[in-house]
């Protein structure tokens, strides 16, 4: 009976941790910057392209395009 409770607790903790991890990782595409907000206040450090981690449910971000879409890479 105790083992069933331990299994349920482990499953619940694993589920919560996976949800937190999934909501904290985000990807910024090439040609964009991530601008972060914590509690509605703009944070001072943006991040460039790639995968980034933030505090889930506390920090939010916006992806801002910094380059022109119609500028060719090679003229």
Q: How far apart are CA 4 and CA 53, in angstroms?
A: 34
Amino acid 53: pLDDT: 93
Q: What kind and span of H or E run contains 27? A: strand 25-28
- Nearest Cα to 58, choosing from 41, 35, 33, 46? 41
Claim: this prediction has a pTM higher than 0.75: no
Mean pLDDT of 42-58: 92
Amino acid 71: pLDDT: 59
């Amino acid at each position: 009976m105790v083992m069933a409770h331990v299994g349920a607790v482990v499953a619940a903790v694993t589920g919560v941790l996976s949800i937190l991890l999934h909501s904290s990782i985000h990807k910024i595409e090439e040609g964009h910057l991530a601008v972060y907000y914590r509690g509605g206040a703009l944070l001072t450090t943006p991040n460039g392209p790639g995968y980034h981690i933030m505090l889930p449910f506390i920090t939010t971000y916006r992806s801002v395009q910094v380059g022109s879409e119609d500028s060719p890479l090679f003229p």
